[in-house]
Amino acid sequence: MLLAILGYGKMGHAIETLALQRGHQIGCTVDNDDDWNRCGDALRACDVAVEFSQPAVAVDNLRRCFDLGLPVVCGTTGWYDRLDAVAAECRDRGQALLVASNFSIGMNIMFELNRRLAQLMAARPEYKVSLSETHHIHKLDAPSGTAITLARDINEVCHAERMPVGDIVSIREGEVPGIHEVVYDSDVDTLTLRHSAKSRQGLALGAVLAAEYLCGRKGFYTMRDLLSEA
């Protein structure tokens, strides 16, 4: 598989390393408008693009991929107020897009556990839920897209605004890859669901697995689609 990497920061480099280890090739890396202009032919030759850039340019990058007919995996967060419109555009134009707020396989398993736990807690108002996330000081969006996903799933399952997004505690310190905690607390006990990333490698591997999954497909997908076929 020939990959394009859109956003060549720390995650882009980690994805490059993992992709090469899995026998893939890198067709081009794009980090600015000059790169888009310079790499036009190389982008058209690629099988899939993996996008980890910045919230301000993510949607434009996705649409550029649609224009090229290039399937794209997107890990950038902070633009999800436009997600429904972009997903609809992807389907209407017959393109391919896989979006995830977190590509770690472990984190996506936590998403499933979080939904199941919310179902069990929906009838237990004595438990008050809270959510926190901790990331490195370079992360641009707060709360994280992962935390927003956890909160959204809790609220959808409980059919109530039990844990509004505004109540998420966001901490930015050092070089922490990412910690997410969902806590249910009552007068008699506390239940904690926690995921702690040790490095970017889990995210990079998940992104490459997503690119492998998306190659040759059309439509809009998430990591739940990938995991459902594992």
Q: Which of 24, 135, 180, 195 is catalytic?
A: 135
Instruction: Please indicate whether residue 10 is annotated as part of the active site.
Output: no
Q: Measuring CA to CA, how many Å separate 46 from each of 27, 69, 71, 93, 225?
A: 6, 10, 9, 19, 23
184 touches 190 (CB < 8 A): yes
Using alpha carbons only, give the angle 92, 93, 98 rounded to the nearest 5 degrees: 90
**Of residues 10, 13, 139, 218, which has the active-site annotation?**
139
**3-state secondary structure (DSSP) of residue 201:** helix
Active site residue 218: no
Q: Which DSSP letter does residue 82 get?
A: G
227 DSSP β-pair partners: none
Distance CA 132, CA 16 (A): 30
Active-site residues, by number, are 135, 139
